Structure 1
Amino acid sequence: MYPPVDPIIVQIGPLALRWYGLLIVVAIIVGVTVASREVERRGQKSDDFWDMTIWVLIPAFIGARLYYVFVQSPRGENGLGSFLQNPVMILQIWQGGIHIFGAFIFGAIALWIYTRIKRLPLLIFMDAIALSLPLAQAIGRWGNFINQELYGPPTNLPWGLHIDPNHRIGPYQDLTTYPETTRFHPLFLYESLWNFVGFGLIFWISRRFSRQLRDGDITLLYLIWYPTGRFFIEFLRTDSWFFTGTPFNVVHILCFIAVVGSAIILYRRHGSGQSSYSGTS
């Protein structure tokens, strides 16, 4: 499996249009479109969702980048030290990218503030985002493919990913031990497929059990589905900081909390025979 194209679509002087950025934009447009239709289906104005988007996306992107830089920074030449020595690199999201958990934290805070100010139903808007988010993530992950990033350890599996030596991190830059023919686990593909399946499943549940679901249930389902897959994918990460002597990192902890906490809340909502729908249809 080889990246199909140059990461840069067109460049004029210092300005460049990159596939990574274009795919992120496409993912956002698709996600917001799906979410706005879900908001409308549940009795709200889709225009309110579009108006909210910019106020949530900006903090979410800031949080996603800051989380990557200060928590998820890859080892080697693009490690945290490089970002601190050259702060301009923090703005260059193609240098390592962004991290979804930072977007979750900052975006959720921004969404809560916005819905409070505008007096909009927080849980319905959260559900709309949770419904569309797996689809947007699945699309955006292909930017990692083109950038030759988000790969795991070497593998002999037929779908192994070719990584150019100049895009590798240690110890895989050693071409004696890891020659150019070495293939790596395509973690971007694993996560993209997991998210595509998750979108289909959550979308089906949202329609099939619409009378039983309550406001906030779709969000809980997403917080069970996505972190479950991410928990296991993290074991294959080659660019994360792990707790000394363990195969675990910060993302494992966050995923565990999200899955267990969401499952408990969902069970308490529906596990005692209280399954009638009480939200907006």
Structure 2
Amino acid sequence: MGLRSTGVNLASIPSPSTAVWHLGPVPIRAYALCIVAGIVVAGLIMEKRLRARGAAPGTTLDVATWAVPAGIVGARLYHVISSPQAYFGSGGDPISALYIWEGGLSIWGAVIGGAAGAWIAARKLGIPLTVLGDALAVGLPVGQAIGRLGNWFNNEVYGRITTLPWGLEIHDMSTGRLHPDLYHPVFAYEALWNLGVAALVWAVDRRFQLGRGRAFALFVMGYTAGRLWIELLRIDAANTFFGVRVNVFTAAVIFCLASAYFVLVRGPREQLKPAEPARIG
């Protein structure tokens, strides 16, 4: 039983009972605001790092024109494909697969889709994709941490019942009722881990001048290492393989691939020639 069940609830984390506000007829969704804020912050950090490598001002905006929409589409597609029951199973609602404001954006799909969009932008701008990846390696985990706050507003991405003092209160968003127990705030664990990964990548990159995509590989290694244990705490519905969540295996495989890339790839950091890239129209 959780702390709430025993009547002790001195330091629990409260959760909002609503995630939508209305400005007249226009709904303002907290989840969307957090995602947008995360993208903006990640972009600002990426722009600063690109400028330090010789990129022209505004390069990040040019890349984002392709990478952000592709990343959002990829994130949603991966979520729907990996958890299809809510949309195409018995009693599922296929149309709700389009309702991204209700949550359900996968980082794996976001990276795949975003990388595809960034590759297109890189070719148009004449910039190596590895340079874009290394520039994003610090901003991306910071943006992810901000985006995870949207899960708090949606009362989602939480773990098993806990007796820890920072247990999370959960509202049933359909009824507004408060669950009787407290749960691991998994979204907060991941947000804090991501900030630690960002600090690690920044420090190592500053010390060793990583290039050729190795800073991005280090980010992937750090993120997937955390995702391994974080996934094991989650209790939301997900597909499993041999009784283990599929995302645990995904994180393990990607960690190994990123580690191999980080170890095997060598070469000096790429430095761009200061020049105004052709704008993407």
CA distance in 2, matches of 1:48, 1:5: 40
TM-score relative to the length of structure 2: 0.84
CA distance in 1, matches of 2:111, 2:137: 11
Who is 2:22 aligned against? Answer: 10
CA distance in 2, matches of 1:246, 1:40: 47
Cα deviations across residues 82-134 of structure 1 (Å, max 9, x unaligned)?
79954432221132331111111111112112212332121111111222101
Q: 2:119 aligns with which of 112, 123, 128?
A: 112
Cα deviations across residues 132-175 of structure 1 (Å, max 9, x unaligned)?
1010001110110111000011111111111124569xxxxxx9
Superposed structure 1 runs of 4+ greater than 4 Å apart: 82-85
After superposing the two structures, state which structure 1 stretch, 96-105 or 81-90, moved more: 81-90
Who is 1:171 aligned against? Answer: none
Count of residues in correspondence between the two structures: 259
Q: 2:169 aligns with which of 148, 162, 168?
A: 162
Cα deviations across residues 25-53 of structure 1 (Å, max 9, x unaligned)?
11111110000110010111131221110
Decide whether the 8 Å contact of 2:88 with 2:94 is kept in 1.
no
What does 1:210-221 correspond to in 2, within 5 Å?
210=209, 213-221=210-218
CA distance in 2, matches of 1:11, 1:144: 22
Decide whether the 8 Å contact of 1:83 with 1:90 is kept in 2.
no
Who is 1:172 aligned against? Answer: none
Q: 1:269 to 1:70 in 2, by over 3 A?
A: closer
Letter of the aligned partner of 2:183 in structure 1? F
CA distance in 2, matches of 1:255, 1:114: 27
Who is 1:248 aligned against? Answer: 245
Cα deviations across residues 152-208 of structure 1 (Å, max 9, x unaligned)?
11111111111124569xxxxxx9xxx933011111011000001111111122222
* CA-atom RMSD in angstroms: 2.4
Letter of the aligned partner of 1:88 in structure 2? I
Higher relative contact order (CA 8 A, sep 6+): 2
Give the C-alpha shift of residue 5 in structure 1.
Answer: 6.3
Determine whether 1:258 maps to 2:254: yes
Q: 1:95 to 1:84 in 2, by over 3 A?
A: farther
Determine whether 1:46 maps to 2:57: yes
CA distance in 1, matches of 2:241, 2:17: 38
CA distance in 2, matches of 1:67, 1:120: 28
Q: 1:42 to 1:16 in 2, by over 3 A?
A: same
